[in-house]
């Protein structure tokens, strides 16, 4: 098959981007012809398809030229549409697989797919399909973790997007234009892939047809397990654990890392935090104020993460937004590492309390501290074996097979 993979970033910025890059490479290794469409960026990986990429736009940088591009990229970009048309004409894909296109590529590319009658699959890595804000996090509510599928206009009363009234207003306009007026996603997308049952159920509650959404769980990263490491050997080969608990991933507000810091203050924990993001400075300041032992390690690649994960007491996922199916969860389990996760989103579908990890109430540092205490008193070998057994259902091979089978349904 000739497959066109589309994502706004062509470097491993977050979990969705890592998955997009892995899938593109895995499909090529499986013998398929793969092209990619993305945005130029200094951190991009090398690719022969970069000549088709569109210019960079950033919501975090100043400059009038950059700001002038933003409305078009959010609403409907004719320049992106032209570049995408050129790629479609030259590559002639059998199928198009979209990942994250919002705000940087725009859905103008969907009309191109419709014109050339190319089936389109879209991966739901977050909730942007049904909300002006991708994480469904209501920052103004007494309980920000409670999901509220609101009318779009309700977001105008806050700063849900980029903490900006202007950005939020633009995102609200985007939703009305794309879903109420143009209905561009409903008209041109053949199937949505949800990486968790929770994602599918939430999107269906928001009014999308269940028959157009298929659940395909993510897989752990083969880069972390390594080609010579088998799941059966993970427990016996694990290095002696150290006394720290690990968080790894983006340092964003919705990740709930502040909850982890507060729990560490209650339990006297030692933390290692691997990752980067907009909340890094604020979190470092909070750790100092709480007088806890927390080491901020910055971004770590797969080779650097491997020993950090294997040697930790446990991996903690303290999110306050309804996590979909984070790669960090599956990667930790694949290394025989129990996970302490917030009881939110798709996380409880994988973590079974007291079996392969522990669950706590999101945003509650006292409950997190209790579950950490429960873990330290549990049988570590049993938890590790259960983690490995769980991860066996989320291998890269199984994910790739499921994706290819979906493609075949539309490429007969």
Model confidence over 132-152: pLDDT tens digits?
Answer: 888 887 665 555 556 666 678
Task: With a cut of 90, say whether residue 164 has pLDDT above it.
Answer: no
What's the pLDDT score for residue 282? 96
- Better-predicted residue by pLDDT, 57 or 314: 314
* Residue 289 and residue 346 in one domain: yes
* Residue 20 and residue 48 in one domain: yes
- At 391 the three-state DSSP class reads helix
Is there a contact between 155 and 172 (Cβ–Cβ < 8 Å)?
yes
Is there a contact between 349 and 198 (Cβ–Cβ < 8 Å)?
yes
In degrees, rounded to 5, the angle at the alpha carbon of residue 12 between the alpha carbons of residues 10 and 15 is 115
* Residue 100 and residue 232 in one domain: no
Q: pTM above the 0.75 mark? A: yes
And the tokens for 80? 């992106």
- Give the pLDDT mean for 28-57: 95
* Residue 160 and residue 275 in one domain: no
* Residue 186 and residue 47 in one domain: yes
What's the pLDDT score for residue 240? 52
Task: With a cut of 90, say whether residue 220 has pLDDT above it.
Answer: no
Could you report the per-residue pLDDT of 229-280, keeping only the tens digit for each?
Answer: 455 555 555 545 578 999 999 999 999 999 999 999 999 999 999 999 999 9
- Give the pLDDT mean for 316-339: 94
Any idea what the CATH number is for the domain that residue 67 is in? 3.40.50.2000
Structural domain including 255 reads 223-391
* Residue 161 and residue 144 in one domain: yes
In degrees, rounded to 5, the angle at the alpha carbon of residue 34 between the alpha carbons of residues 31 and 39 is 155
Is there a contact between 334 and 225 (Cβ–Cβ < 8 Å)?
yes
225 — pLDDT class (breaks 50, 70, 90)? low
What's the pLDDT score for residue 154? 78
| Structural domain total, the chain | 2
Could you report the per-residue pLDDT of 176-194, keeping only the tens digit for each?
Answer: 988 889 999 999 999 999 9
Q: Which one, of 301, 351, 303, 302, lies nearest residue 326 by Cα?
A: 351
- At 387 the three-state DSSP class reads helix
Is there a contact between 144 and 120 (Cβ–Cβ < 8 Å)?
no
* Residue 204 and residue 317 in one domain: no
Is there a contact between 235 and 384 (Cβ–Cβ < 8 Å)?
yes
- At 244 the three-state DSSP class reads strand
63 — pLDDT class (breaks 50, 70, 90)? low
**CA distances, 291 to each of 185, 198, 248 (Å):** 49, 37, 21
**Ramachandran category for residue 112: left, alpha or beta (phi over 0 → left; psi -120 to 50 → alpha):** alpha
Q: Rounded mean pLDDT of the chain?
A: 89
CA 376 remoteness from chain centre: 29
And the tokens for 171? 């995102």
Could you report the per-residue pLDDT of 350-402, keeping only the tens digit for each?
Answer: 999 999 999 999 999 999 999 999 998 888 889 999 999 999 999 999 999 99
CA 17 remoteness from chain centre: 8
Task: With a cut of 90, say whether residue 68 has pLDDT above it.
Answer: no
* Residue 200 and residue 237 in one domain: no
Longest dimension (CA), the chain: 61
* Residue 63 and residue 27 in one domain: yes
What's the pLDDT score for residue 7? 97
* Residue 34 and residue 172 in one domain: yes
Task: With a cut of 70, say whether residue 157 has pLDDT above it.
Answer: yes
* Residue 376 and residue 311 in one domain: yes
* Residue 235 and residue 360 in one domain: yes
- Give the pLDDT mean for 81-108: 95
Q: Which one, of 174, 13, 37, lies nearest residue 109 by Cα?
A: 37
Lowest average pLDDT, out of 144-158, 226-240, 321-335, goes to 226-240
**CA distances, 201 to each of 77, 170, 206 (Å):** 31, 27, 9
């Amino acid at each position: 098959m000739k497959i066109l993979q589309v994502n706004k970033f062509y470097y491993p910025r977050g979990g969705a981007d890592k998955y997009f890059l892995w899938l593109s490479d895995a499909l090529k290794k499986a013998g398929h012809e793969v092209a990619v469409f993305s945005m130029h960026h200094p951190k991009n990986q090398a690719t022969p398809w970069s000549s088709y990429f569109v210019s960079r736009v950033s919501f975090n940088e100043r400059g009038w030229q950059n700001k002038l591009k933003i409305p078009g990229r959010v609403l409907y970009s004719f320049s992106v549409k032209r570049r995408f048309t050129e790629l479609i004409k030259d590559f002639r894909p059998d199928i198009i697989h979209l990942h994250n296109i919002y705000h940087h590529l725009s859905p103008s590319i969907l009309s191109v797919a419709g014109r050339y009658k190319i089936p389109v699959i879209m991966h739901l890595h977050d909730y942007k399909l049904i909300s002006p804000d991708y994480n469904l996090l209501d920052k103004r509510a007494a309980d920000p973790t409670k999901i509220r599928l609101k009318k779009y206009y309700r977001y105008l009363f806050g700063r849900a997007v980029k903490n900006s009234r202007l950005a939020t207003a633009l995102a609200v306009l985007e939703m009305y234009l794309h879903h109420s007026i143009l209905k561009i996603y409903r008209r041109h997308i053949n199937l949505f892939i949800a990486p968790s049952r929770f994602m599918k159920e939430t999107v269906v509650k928001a009014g999308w047809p269940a028959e157009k959404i298929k659940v395909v769980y993510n897989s752990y990263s083969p880069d972390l397990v390594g080609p010579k490491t088998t799941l059966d050997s993970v427990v016996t080969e694990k290095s002696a654990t150290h006394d720290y608990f690990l968080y790894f991933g983006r340092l964003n507000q919705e990740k709930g890392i502040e909850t982890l810091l507060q729990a560490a203050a209650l339990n006297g924990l030692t933390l290692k935090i691997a990752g980067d993001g907009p909340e890094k400075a604020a979190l470092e300041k909070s750790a100092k104020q709480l007088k806890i032992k927390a080491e901020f390690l910055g971004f770590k690649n797969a080779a650097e993460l491997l020993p950090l994960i294997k040697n930790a007491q446990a991996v903690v996922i303290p999110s306050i937004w309804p996590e979909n199916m984070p790669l960090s969860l599956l990667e930790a389990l694949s290394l025989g590492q129990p996970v302490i996760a917030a009881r939110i989103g798709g996380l409880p579908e994988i973590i079974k309390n007291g079996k392969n990890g522990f669950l706590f109430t999101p945003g509650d540092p006292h409950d997190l501290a209790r579950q950490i205490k429960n873990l330290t008193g549990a049988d570590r070998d049993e938890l590790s074996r259960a983690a490995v057994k769980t991860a066996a259902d989320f291998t890269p091979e199984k994910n790739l097979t499921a994706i290819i089978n979906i493609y075949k349904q539309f490429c007969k």
